[in-house]
């Protein structure tokens, strides 16, 4: 059996690479939808503004998508690199699910991304539009399969165990497991929303700087419009997801609500847990709010505490609590900003309210923060299980030496920190350069002639 | 029988990867030896449209292995841990370098260097992985049990050298097909020496396998001997065609011939070792996943494969022919920074519109309360009273937001807020 240090290092490695990878799809799924809609609008109306928007966002999308793909390539191998025993046990189920993702989604994206990025002027505008929409289908399919696989690990159903290996007894139940039906809409809304903040934040920056005004107004209006429609829905879906996971993985809910004993009807804003003693050294709460959120309007119901779970089966409260708070508080901020945007729109001041626009710029990464927080809650809250109730994380690791595991962790951290810096720098540069020059020849490129079949 | 189909799927993906990303990586390595910045940029652009699709094949190979032969996946990946991790890091850096190089308007030497070196590192590591697997990995019960450096054998190092030669050959063949001018002529001249190197590597590795592989290769079985002989013969014929084709028209011939050589080489290895996948003794049967999983995998992936191939060929068709710098002058000539600036400095709303101070405070308090109420309803707090209250509320909020959005958007459009031409004047 592997040493606890190897388990710990492997967990960090997977956590860092997974959060890093997730931050790219968090933006590119929504961006692909946005780009497809913009290109289609350009085709239908012939308005060069939409072409400007398309070309500008395509530049940011290209780099983000590329980085997402390479980081995703790493993920496919990581299941086996550090987690060989896990890979052997669940390969017959999850290997197939991920395999379906690769063949239906990865290839679709890879096949059309070249046309979308470099096809301008080489293919007919209609073909460009088709490539854009195929990319949307690809990213959405990818999200679907991945969520299906991850949800099965959260709440495994439809399987039998033979010699320590799991095999599907009912594929339908495996793929469309109950956890999936809650978590899939939640993440789908989340990726659309986080792209919305990213697009809106950058549009707001141009308005603050008074550059490219039609471009900035048009994109800000679209982004905030989508956000105002989706934010209430997301709060509702998120609440339903938390309730479902709380029912199926009680320990997770106990950990992310930050209580040890079941004697608190308040809502914890801040806790400093002492894991060994099983109590909080410090906690700040709003009384009765915990009960109200849990659908008891009288404010008396008590929120379950982590001591209800046996010590060996408890997740780490720190990561679950603060991951959840990062997601939830950011969600409230997002909700408030979307609401304020709606009020400003009603009063006809959306494009001139400078304080609001400055705040919007800061909200650009909000969606990514919330999604990262949500994943941290979901994944660390499932511990000590890697497949809930079936395989413990400590039993899942490969036969590895400490040195090899540590070396690879350092390698990944270094390279990924570098990539993150490069990605941010590339966004900043693209934004500084601006969209202004992107349609100077709108008349000649709106309908490029078909390349002759030489 | 099904497990052989799964193994075949893995091999198909692996072969496609070696063929497609092989030329990518080969061109990356070749770019290290080219002194012209313009040509290096050209090499990068040549790959930028295709590297993503090419790399997808190794991902497919990986997951098909996981789903179809989990025993192999769980043995090989930890067994060749370090070279595999380094290869993944190299692939990450390489993709980044390609995208950032492609996004930059001019040639960036740093990215060019990263692109070349990471291509070389990825190739060497893939060779080490292949050699490490062929020389055997200790395992028990479907998981790896050996040490950290089991992959490092003389044979795996020879494999690394051999793979570099193979990828360089594929890269040169692809360059002859896709480029014109100096790059084209160079590729034509490089082809034959590289072919000699590949042939030498093939001989050394082929005979070396008998020594390196811990199992006894059973060439006394007629079926195996026939298949092996056939594969080797095809490889030799294809190599001869490539020899003849380099530096001659038609330009596509060397690449097709090299592809044939690679495929035949892979088949020869499989013919020699099957049914063992990982020596010693891990066979296709022992490593296979249960029947249902394989069936699902083969129907799902096999059913999608024609579609995948169709649009991959279509994408290749779009970028067919010789590479040309994109003519769209649209995105060149970037005015370095900002200063389109200040169109309407007076547009800031004056504070007097807000009315008296007290009214502003009251309005903000009321709006805040409204926002809290909307958020509370959205979080289903009335779910305990009546289940329908909150979903109905959420629907009303969203529809209201949508209506307001559409109305105000139309007004803005009518007011010319979105008018590009007006703004330019």
Q: How far is B217 from A233, CA to CA, in rounded Å?
A: 63
Chain A environment of B95 (Cβ under 8 Å): 66-67, 69-70
B110 at A interface, C-beta within 8 A: no
CB atoms within 10 A of CB B260: 18
Selection from A375, A392, A395, A396 nearest residue A150 by Cα: A375
| Best residue of A100, A102, A117, A439 to probe chain B, by most B CBs closer than 10 Å | A102
Residue B388's pLDDT is: 83
Query: Is residue B346 scored above 60 in pLDDT?
Result: no
- Reported as a single tens digit per residue, the pLDDT across A154-195 is 888 888 888 888 888 888 888 898 889 999 999 999 999 999
Residue A224 tokens, joined: 């905030």
Partner residue opposite A99 with nearest CB, options B301, B402, B408: B301
Q: What is the pLDDT of residues A23-73, one digit of tens each?
A: 888 899 999 999 999 999 988 988 888 888 998 999 899 888 888 888 888
Give contacts of B 345-374 with A, CB under 8 A.
345, 347-349, 367, 370-371, 374
Q: What's the pLDDT score for residue B340?
A: 41
Partners of residue A243 in chain B, C-beta under 8 Å? 380
Residue A452 confidence (pLDDT): 40
Select from A110, A225, A236 the Cβ nearest to the Cβ of B378. Answer: A236
Q: Is residue A5 within a helix (H) or strand (E), and if so which, with residue range?
A: helix A4-23
State the pLDDT confidence band at B326, using cuts at 50, 70 and 90. low
Beta-carbon neighbour count of residue B331 at 10 Å?
Answer: 16
Tell me whether residues A214 and B147 touch, CB distance under 8 A. Answer: no
Residues contacting A176, CB < 8 A, separation 6+: A148
Supply A205's token pair.
């920056």
Handedness of CA A237, A243, A249, A252 (dihedral sign): positive
Contacts of B305 in chain A (CB under 8 A): 103
Q: A449 falls in which pLDDT band (50, 70, 90)?
A: very low
B250 vs A359: CA distance, rounded Å: 61
Enter the DSSP assignment of B345. G
In this predicted structure, what is the pLDDT of residue A298? Answer: 79
Give A92's contacts in chain B (Cβ within 8 Å).
67, 70, 289-290, 292-293
All residues of chain B having their beta carbon less than 8 Å from the beta carbon of residue A293 are: 379, 381
Pick B379's closest partner by Cβ from A67, A236, A415. Answer: A236
ipTM: 0.82
Tell me the mean pLDDT in the region A339-346. Answer: 90
Per-residue pLDDT for A219 more than 60?
yes
When pLDDT is cut at 50, 70 and 90, the band that residue A370 belongs to is: very high
The per-residue pLDDT for B26 is 92
Residues 6+ apart with CB under 8 A from B371: A335, A336, A339, A340
pLDDT of residue A198: 94
Backbone angles phi, psi at B35, to 5 degrees: -90, -15
Asked whether the beta carbons of residue B374 and residue A232 sit closer than 8 angstroms, the reply is: yes
- Nearest by CB to residue B59, choosing from A102, A236, A240, is A102
pLDDT given at position A275: 82
B425: how many CB neighbours lie within 10 A of its CB? 5
Q: Are A291 and A299 in contact (CB under 8 A)?
A: yes
> Residue B164: which pLDDT band, with cuts at 50, 70 and 90?
very high
Q: Hey, are the CB atoms on B74 and A293 less than 8 Å from each other?
A: no
pLDDT score of B47 more than 80: yes
Mean pLDDT within B355-364 = 86
Q: What is the mean pLDDT of residues A431-450?
A: 61
Q: How confident is the model at residue A200 (pLDDT cuts 50, 70, 90)?
A: very high
Tokens 């060996």 belong to residue: A312
For residues B213 and A361, the model is more confident at A361
- The answer to whether A386 touches A83, Cβ cutoff 8 Å, is yes
In this complex, do A84 and B75 lie within 8 Å of one another by their Cβ atoms? yes
Average pLDDT, chain A: 86
Q: Count Cβ atoms within 10 A of the Cβ of residue A247 and give its class: 0-12 exposed, 13-18 middle, 19 or more buried.
A: exposed
Out of A249-258, A373-382, B174-183, B213-222, pick the least confident.
Answer: B213-222
B95/A70 touch (CB, cutoff 8 Å), yes or no? yes
Distance CA A335, CA A344 (A): 14
Asked if B143 reaches chain A (Cβ–Cβ under 8 Å), the answer is: yes
User: Which DSSP string corresponds to A138-206?
Assistant: HHHHHHHHHHHHHHHHHS--SEEEETTEEEES-HHHHHT-HHHHHHHHHHHHHHHHHHHHHHHHHHHHH
Are residues A183 and A241 in contact, defined by beta-carbon separation less than 8 angstroms? yes
Nearest CA to B396 out of A34, A241, A293, A236 is that of A236
> Two tokens at A218?
């048009």
Give the CA distances from residue A200 to residues A204, A205, A218, in Å, rounded to whole numbers and listed in that order: 6, 9, 10
A392 strand-pairing partners: A385
Cross-chain residue pair A239–B379, CB shorter than 8 Å: yes
3-state secondary structure at position A279: strand
- Asked if B142's CB is within 8 angstroms of A399's CB, the reply is no
- The structure tokens listed for A156 are 């495994």
Per CB-CB distance under 8 Å, the chain B contacts of A70 are 55, 91-92, 94-96
State how far residue A110 is from chain B, nearest Cα, in angstroms.
4
- pLDDT the model gives residue B325: 62
Q: Check CB contact of B129 with chain A, cutoff 8 Å.
A: no
Asked if A81's CB is within 8 angstroms of B78's CB, the reply is yes
Phi, psi dihedrals of residue A282, rounded to the nearest 5°:
-135, 140
Write down the H helix ranges in A24-124: 25-45, 48-81, 84-90, 96-101, 107-118
Closest Cβ–Cβ partner in A47, A212, A415 for B92: A415
CB pairs under 8 A between A and B: 390
DSSP letter string, B286-336: HHPPPHHHHHHHHHHHHHHHHHHHHHHHHHHHHT-SS------GGGSS--S
Q: Are A87 and B63 in contact (CB under 8 A)?
A: no
pLDDT grade for B422, boundaries at 50, 70 and 90: low
Q: A70 to chain B: nearest residue by CA? A: B92
Interface of B with A in 51-90 (CB under 8 A): 52-53, 55-56, 58-60, 62-64, 66-68, 70-71, 73-78, 81-82, 84-86, 88-89
* Contact of A136 with A18, CB cutoff 8 Å: no
> Mean pLDDT, to the nearest integer, of A123-152?
90
A-chain residues within 8 Å CB-CB of B405? 221, 224-225, 228-229, 342, 345
List the single residue in A84, A101, A419 with the smallest CB-CB distance to B143: A84
Of these ranges, A290-304, A404-418, B131-145, B407-421, the one predicted with the greatest mean pLDDT is: A404-418
Interface contact flag, B88 A123, Cβ < 8 Å: no
**3-class secondary structure, A303:** strand
pLDDT of A443 above 80: no
Handedness of CA A36, A40, A46, A50 (dihedral sign): negative
- How close A276 gets to chain B, by Cα (Å)? 34
With a cut of 60, say whether residue B218 has pLDDT above it. Answer: yes
The angle formed by the CA atoms of residues B61, A62 and A445, to the nearest 5 degrees, is: 125
Query: Which of A396-410, A416-430, B105-119, B335-349 has the lowest average pLDDT?
Result: B335-349
| pTM (two decimals) | 0.87
Most B CBs within 10 Å, among A108, A110, A396, to test the B interface: A110
Residues of A in contact with B418 (CB under 8 A): 49, 214, 217-218
| CB within 8 Å: A398 and B98 | no
**Partner-chain contact B418 A218, CB within 8 Å:** yes
**Percentage of residues in chain B having pLDDT higher than 90:** 10
- Assign A258 to helix, strand or coil: coil
- pLDDT higher than threshold 70 for residue A1: no
B230 touches chain A (CB under 8 A): no
């Amino acid at each position: 059996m592997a040493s606890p240090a190897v388990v710990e290092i492997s967990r960090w490695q997977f956590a860092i690479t997974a959060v890093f990878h997730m931050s790219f799809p968090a933006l590119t799924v929504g961006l692909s939808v946005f780009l497809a809609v913009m290109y289609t609008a350009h085709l239908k109306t012939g308005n060069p503004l939409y072409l400007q928007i398309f070309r500008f966002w395509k530049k940011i999308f290209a780099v983000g998508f590329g980085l997402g793909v390479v980081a995703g390539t790493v993920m496919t191998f990581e299941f086996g690199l550090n987690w060989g025993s896990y890979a052997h046990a669940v390969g017959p189920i999850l290997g197939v699910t991920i395999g379906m993702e690769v063949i239906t989604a990865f290839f679709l994206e890879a096949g059309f991304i070249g046309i979308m990025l470099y096809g301008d002027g080489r293919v007919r505008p209609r073909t460009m539009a088709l490539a854009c929409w195929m990319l949307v289908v690809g990213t959405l399919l990818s999200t679907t399969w991945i969520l299906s696989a991850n949800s099965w690990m959260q709440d495994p159903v439809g399987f039998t165990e033979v010699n320590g290996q799991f095999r599907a007894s009912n594929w339908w139940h495996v793929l469309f497991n109950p956890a999936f039906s809650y978590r899939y809409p939640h993440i789908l809304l989340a990726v659309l929303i986080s792209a919305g903040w990213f697009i809106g934040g950058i549009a707001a920056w141009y308005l603050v700087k008074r550059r490219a005004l039609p471009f900035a107004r048009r994109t800000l209006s679209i982004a905030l419009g989508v956000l105002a429609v989706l934010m209430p829905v997301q709060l509702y879906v998120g609440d339903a997801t938390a309730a479902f996971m709380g029912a199926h993985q009680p320990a997770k809910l106990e950990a992310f609500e930050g209580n040890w004993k079941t004697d608190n009807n308040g809502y914890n804003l801040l806790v400093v847990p002492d894991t060994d003693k099983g109590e909080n050294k410090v906690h700040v709460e709003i009384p009765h709010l915990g009960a109200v959120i849990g659908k008891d309007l009288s404010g008396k119901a008590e929120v379950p505490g982590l001591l209800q779970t046996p010590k060996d089966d408890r997740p780490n409260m720190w990561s679950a609590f603060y991951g959840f708070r990062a997601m939830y508080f950011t969600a409230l901020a997002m909700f408030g900003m979307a609401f304020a945007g709606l009020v400003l729109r009603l009063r006809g001041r959306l494009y001139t309210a400078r304080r609001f626009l400055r705040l919007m710029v800061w909200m650009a990464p909000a969606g990514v923060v919330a999604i990262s927080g949500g994943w941290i809650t979901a994944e660390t809250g499932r511990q000590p299980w890697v497949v809930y109730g079936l395989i413990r994380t400590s039993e899942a690791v490969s036969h590895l030496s400490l040195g090899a595991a540590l070396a690879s962790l350092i390698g990944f951290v270094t390279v990924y920190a570098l990539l993150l810096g490069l990605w941010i720098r590339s966004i900043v540069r693209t934004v500084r350069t601006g969209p202004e020059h992107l349609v100077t020849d709108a008349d000649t490129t709106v309908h490029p002639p078909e390349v002759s079949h030489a | 029988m099904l497990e052989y189909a799964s193994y075949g799927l893995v091999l198909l993906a692996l072969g496609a990867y070696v063929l497609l990303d092989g030329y990518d990586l080969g061109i990356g390595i070749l770019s290290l030896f080219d002194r012209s910045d313009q040509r290096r940029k050209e090499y990068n652009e040549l790959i930028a449209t295709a590297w993503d699709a090419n790399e997808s094949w190794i991902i497919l190979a990986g997951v098909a292995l996981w789903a179809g032969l989990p025993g192999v996946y769980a043995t090989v990946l930890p067994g060749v841990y370090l070279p595999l991790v380094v290869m993944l890091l190299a692939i990450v850096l390489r993709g980044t370098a390609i995208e950032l190089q492609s996004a930059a308007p001019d040639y960036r030497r740093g990215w060019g260097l990263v692109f070349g070196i990471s291509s070389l590192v990825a190739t060497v590591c893939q060779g080490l992985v292949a050699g490490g697997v062929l020389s055997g990995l200790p395992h028990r019960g479907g998981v790896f049990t050996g040490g950290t450096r089991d992959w490092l054998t003389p044979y795996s190092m020879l494999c690394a050298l051999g793979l570099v030669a193979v990828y360089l050959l594929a890269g040169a063949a692809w360059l002859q097909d896709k480029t014109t001018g100096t790059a084209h002529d160079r590729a034509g001249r490089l082809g034959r020496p590289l072919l000699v190197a590949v042939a030498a590597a093939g001989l050394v590795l082929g005979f070396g396998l008998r020594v390196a592989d811990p199992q006894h290769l059973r060439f006394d079985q007629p079926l195996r001997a026939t298949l092996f002989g056939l594969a080797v013969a095809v490889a030799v014929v294809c190599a001869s065609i490539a020899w003849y084709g380099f530096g001659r028209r038609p330009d596509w011939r060397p690449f097709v011939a090299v592809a044939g050589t690679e495929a035949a080489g892979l088949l020869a290895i499989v013919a020699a070792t099957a049914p063992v996948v990982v020596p010693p003794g891990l066979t296709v049967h022992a490593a296979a996943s249960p029947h249902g999983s394989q069936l699902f995998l083969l129907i799902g992936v096999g059913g999608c494969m024609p579609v995948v191939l169709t649009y991959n060929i279509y994408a290749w068709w779009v970028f067919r022919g010789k590479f040309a710098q994109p003519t769209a002058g649209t995105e060149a000539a970037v005015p370095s920074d900002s200063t389109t600036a200040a169109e309407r400095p007076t547009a800031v709303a004056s504070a007097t519109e807000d009315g008296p101070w007290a009214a502003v405070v009251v309005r903000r308090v009321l709006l805040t309360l409204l926002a809290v109420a909307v958020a509370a309803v959205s979080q289903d707090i009335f779910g305990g009273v009546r289940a329908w209250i909150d979903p109905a509320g959420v629907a009303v909020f969203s529809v209201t937001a949508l209506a307001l959005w559409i109305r105000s958007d139309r007004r803005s459009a009518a007011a010319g807020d979105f008018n590009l031409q007006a703004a330019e004047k």
